[in-house]
A = this chain, B = another copy of it.
Amino acid sequence: MASRKNAFYAQSGGVTAVINASACGVIETARANKAKIGKVYAGRNGIIGALTEDLIDTTKESASAIAALRSTPSGAFGSCRFKLKSLEANKREYERLIEVFKAHDIGYFFYNGGGDSADTCFKVSQLADSMGYPIQAIHVPKTVDNDLPITDCCPGFGSVAKYVAVSALEASFDVRSMAKTSTKVFVLEVMGRHAGWIAAAGGLIEDHGIPVIVLFPEIEFDEKKFLARVDKLVKQHGYCTVVVSEGCHYPDGKFLAEQGTRDAFGHAQLGGAAPVVANMVKNALGHKFHWAVADYLQRAARHIASKTDVKQAYELGKAAVQLALKGHNAVMPTVDRISDKPYKYKIGMAPLARVANVEKFMPRNFITADGFGITEPCKRYLKPLIQGEDYPKYKDGVPVYATLKNVPVAKKLPKFDLK
């Protein structure tokens, strides 16, 4: 691209503790390349911001405000759960995108998200071919689920993994203290609807002497085997910890979390897997239990973010801009692992055609033969990703997290209704 163009950046899907670090990498790198990249416009609420011409002028933010994104969890510009349909199914949306891009002289499209978002980014990357609008679309990987293919890991995951390992360790120490007369089984539910990467991080506490059972979405739940395992661990250690993935399910595909629980009025209750597992243990073995559902706490926990994760999130944002400047389109920067110990990696590149809509599950050799724990290769994989602490600054006892001004760009086009 010869002339200077503006860039569009947006955040998509579930946010993480470090997606703003990627935003920081994108914006700071664009600012350092003003000869080629004009303004960075952020989409308010992801691609919706592009469709509705709801753009944020990031040039109105000071250098220190942008720098503060590096230690702020969540999506500073708002995120969305919105997937572009195919060109055939909804041409109107693509035409609108091009109108907005034209109106604001946008030649670069940076989309920061997971598998669904990679699909959106890929569709945008094809606009030059399909609709004759020249644009370079680069995907910035992000997902706590760690399920994007090709890249060794995904920004957001290392911090959740660290949160889960630390929290499970701490709660297990608690249970160990109480087991004589009180709680014997502690159940922690973590995210991961299809892939068990986050749950796997709970398995790391085994190396700290904790009897732990991990329940993965990749392994069909076998109640009898599970209860026998709990029984054995409690008899042996006096207590045990269970880390259950929200996606854990029975052989017929039914989630543990969807046990048909009903309230007093017969209304279906949306519950968690943790209380189901805990009650199962109570009913079968009689042990006193406690359970926790970490939910958003885990993916928002910037206070205990992995330093490795924060660094990679920033580097991948930076790399996305560098790839665009080199003329690439329809690609995603990746983390390519060189070695486990010492941990070495380089930033690589993957074609979006091979990333979009592909989910990477835990390899079977990362899960123990009995299906209840993680293997040494899995531990070697996980440990570098949770290394290092990257503490935010604190004021009055809580972290100082940035809230941007998010000044809107003046609209030039008629209103567009999302359907």
Contact = CB atoms under 8 A, between A and B. Distances in A.
Interface of A: 11, 14-15, 17, 44-45, 48, 72-76, 78-82, 162, 165-167, 169-171, 173-183, 186, 188, 204-205, 207-209, 259-264, 267, 269-272, 274-276, 278-279, 282-283, 290-297, 299-304, 306, 383, 385-389, 391, 394, 396-399, 401, 403
B387 A397 contact: yes
Given A79-B178, A263-B276, A294-B297, 9 more contacts: A11-B177, A48-B181, A170-B297, A186-B296, A188-B297, A259-B263, A260-B263, A261-B263, A383-B397
Contacts of A262: 261-262
Stoichiometry, as copies per complex, reads 2
Contact of A170 (B162, B274, B303): B303
A303 to B, nearest CB: 5
A283 B188 CA distance: 27
A297 B177 CA distance: 14
Contacts of A386: 396-398
B15 A302 contact: no
Contacts of A44: 180
Interchain residue pairs A-B with the least CB separation, the first 3: A386-B397, A74-B173, A75-B177
A396 B388 CA distance: 8
27 contacts: A15-B177, A44-B180, A74-B173, A76-B177, A78-B176, A81-B181, A82-B181, A162-B398, A166-B399, A167-B301, A169-B398, A170-B297, A170-B302, A170-B399, A171-B295, A171-B300, A173-B300, A174-B300, A259-B264, A260-B264, A261-B262, A263-B276, A270-B278, A290-B296, A292-B294, A383-B396, A383-B397
Given A75-B177, A167-B297, A173-B300, A391 B391 contact: yes
Contacts of A188: 297
Nearest to A403: B209
Contacts of A176: 74, 78
B300 A303 contact: no
Contacts of A276: 263
Contact of A173 (B72, B80, B171, B274): B72
A182 B81 contact: yes
Contacts of A205: 398
Contacts of A75: 177-178
Contacts of A387: 396-397
A196 to B, nearest CB: 19
Contacts of A14: 178
A51 to B, nearest CB: 12
Nearest to A399: B166
B279 A270 contact: yes
A72 to B, nearest CB: 7
A309 to B, nearest CB: 10
A298 to B, nearest CB: 9
B264 A299 contact: no
A374 B200 CA distance: 39
A405 to B, nearest CB: 13
Nearest to A207: B396
